């Protein structure tokens, strides 16, 4: 972890107000290094900021990524309505460096950036409260809606082929073939599980390619802790983690959110006997998402909502498994075999959703009728 003195020096590069007090690791994202920074404005007032070291091994064109975020946040600020503002819905706000840049590059080549800290709000990694999931669905739906006219070709692809599930499976095959750490023998069942679903997994990518579903500007990382919910009211306050905002499908966002919030246990829970699709959670998130986004979705997108949840969960499992085989170079891990545990969990969730896919479809139909869509 970073030394306090180093973090203080980094903070000095930004236009933070007041006197530096503290910088502490914050949140449980898998990619960037995130710190909550405290400044003293005067004797009675403390203020906080988010300071992040961007993972430049994952985001290779960090300068392009920061330009994306600058453009998207400024566009969203223009589009957000006064009504949404009075609802305390916020757009993530970058804090500039003393040189009026959106990032600072240190002498080791690391990229640092800072955001306004969204106070009294939390990104829940595992939420039990279905109302929270309804609010999360609404917030991500609204976010996508605000971007519906954004000029997609002005954004760079921050991770190439990020949700290209076909390519993700090819990568898995390559990792199995190379088997750098001789780990493949431990996960032959999981490898088989993923490869036997190759055809189904390609549906969204092919759908986009032939124009069966539209290309939109989407978030692409709608994990439930990437929306901050108000601690008092539970309402969606701010969609964060904009590193992957780029052209994609509405189904990527919907599917990945269900992957991250629809299960009865956490993403890395090991008690797979207990892992089921929680239908109440599924309904709550879907209701929020459809309320915000439903009128904009095409008939084909609506038809593929349940399938998208299955495909995005499979894709994430494939990514965890590939990373496990490649030596845990991408996702942060906190215990031995963490990526394998995550992969097993995701695949069990896929199997559970496959069993429930008719019920998932019925829930979508019921909500559409109820919402008059």
Q: Which residues bind Mg ion (CB under 5 A)?
A: 29, 226, 241
Binding site partner of 262, from Mg ion, ligand ADP, ligand GN1, none, Cβ cut-off 5-8 A by kind = none
Residue list 8-27, contact with ligand ADP (CB under 6 A): 26-27
Please pick, from the candidates 51, 123, 291, 313, the single residue that binds ligand ADP as defined by CB under 6 A. 123
Binding site partner of 316, from Mg ion, ligand ADP, ligand GN1, none, Cβ cut-off 5-8 A by kind = ligand GN1
d(CA 98, CA 116): 16
Q: What is the DSSP string of 32-71?
A: SEEEEEEEEEETTEEEEEEEEEE-TTT-S-HHHHHHHHHH
Q: How far is the CB of 67 from ligand ADP (least distance, A)?
A: 17
Give the residue with the Cβ less far from ligand ADP, 169 or 316.
316
Site for ligand ADP contains 54 (CB under 6 A): no
Binding residues for ligand ADP, rule CB under 6 A, total: 19
The CB-nearest residue to ligand ADP is 29
Residue list 158-197, contact with ligand ADP (CB under 6 A): none
Please pick, from the candidates 65, 91, 118, 321, the single residue that binds ligand ADP as defined by CB under 6 A. 118
Residue list 86-105, contact with ligand ADP (CB under 6 A): 92
Please pick, from the candidates 241, 253, 268, 291, the single residue that binds ligand ADP as defined by CB under 6 A. 241
The first and second tokens of residue 6, run together, are: 């180093």
d(CA 252, CA 140): 12
d(CA 213, CA 230): 33
Please pick, from the candidates 11, 30, 263, 356, the single residue that binds ligand GN1 as defined by CB under 6 A. 30
**Residues whose CB falls within 8 Å of the CB of residue 113, separated by 6 or more in sequence, listed in order:** 51, 52, 54, 66, 69, 94, 102, 103, 104
The first and second tokens of residue 303, run together, are: 């038809």
Site for ligand GN1 contains 241 (CB under 6 A): yes
Site for ligand GN1 contains 29 (CB under 6 A): yes
Site for ligand ADP contains 240 (CB under 6 A): yes
d(CA 137, CA 345): 23
Helices 250-261/305-325 angle, 10° precision: 70
Site for ligand GN1 contains 244 (CB under 6 A): yes
Residue list 263-292, contact with ligand GN1 (CB under 6 A): 267
Characterize 184-223 residue by residue with b for buried, 16 or more Cβ atoms within 10 angstroms of its Cβ, and e for exposed: beebeebbebbeebbeebbbbbebbeeeebeebbbbbbbb
d(CA 254, CA 54): 25
d(CA 36, CA 41): 16
Q: How far is the CB of 53 from ligand GN1 (least distance, A)?
A: 13
Given the rule CB under 6 A, which residues bind ligand ADP? Answer: 26-27, 29-32, 34, 50, 92, 115, 117-118, 123, 225-226, 228, 240-241, 243
């Amino acid at each position: 972890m970073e030394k306090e003195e180093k973090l203080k020096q980094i903070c000095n590069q930004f236009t933070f107000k007041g006197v530096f007090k503290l910088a502490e690791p914050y949140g449980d994202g898998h990619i960037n290094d995130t710190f909550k920074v405290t400044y003293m404005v005067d004797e009675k007032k403390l203020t906080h900021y988010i300071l992040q070291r961007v993972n430049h091994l994952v985001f290779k064109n960090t300068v392009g990524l920061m330009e994306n975020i600058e453009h998207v946040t400024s566009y969203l600020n223009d589009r957000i309505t006064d009504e949404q503002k009075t609802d305390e819905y916020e757009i993530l706000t970058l804090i500039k460096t003393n040189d009026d840049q959106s990032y600072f590059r240190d002498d080791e080549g690391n990229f640092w950036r800072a955001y306004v800290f969204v106070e009294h709000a939390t990104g829940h990694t595992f939420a039990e409260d279905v109302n929270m999931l309804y609010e999360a669905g609404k917030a991500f739906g609204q976010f996508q809606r605000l971007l519906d006219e954004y000029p997609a070709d002005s954004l760079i692809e921050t991770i190439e082929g990020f949700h290209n599930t076909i390519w993700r499976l090819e990568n898995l095959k390559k990792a199995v073939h190379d088997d750098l750490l001789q780990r493949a023998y431990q996960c032959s069942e999981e490898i088989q599980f993923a490869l036997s679903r190759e055809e189904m997994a390609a549906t969204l990518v092919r759908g986009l390619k032939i124009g069966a579903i539209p290309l939109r500007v989407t978030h692409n990382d709608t994990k439930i802790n990437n929306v901050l919910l108000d601690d008092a009211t539970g309402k969606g306050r701010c969609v964060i983690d904009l590193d992957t905002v780029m052209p994609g499908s509405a189904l990527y966002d919907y599917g990945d959110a269900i992957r991250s919030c629809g299960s009865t246990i956490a993403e890395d829970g090991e008690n797979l006997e207990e892992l089921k699709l929680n239908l109440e959670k599924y309904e709550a998130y879907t209701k929020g998402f459809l309320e915000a986004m439903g009128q904009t979705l095409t008939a084909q997108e609506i038809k593929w909502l349940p399938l998208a949840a299955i495909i995005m969960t499979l894709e994430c499992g494939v990514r965890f498994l590939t990373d496990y085989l490649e030596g845990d170079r991408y996702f942060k891990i906190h215990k031995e075999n963490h990526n394998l545990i995550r992969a097993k969990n995701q695949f069990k969730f896929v199997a559970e959703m496959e069993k429930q896919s008719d019920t998932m479809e019925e829930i979508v139909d019921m909500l559409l009728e109820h919402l008059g869509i």
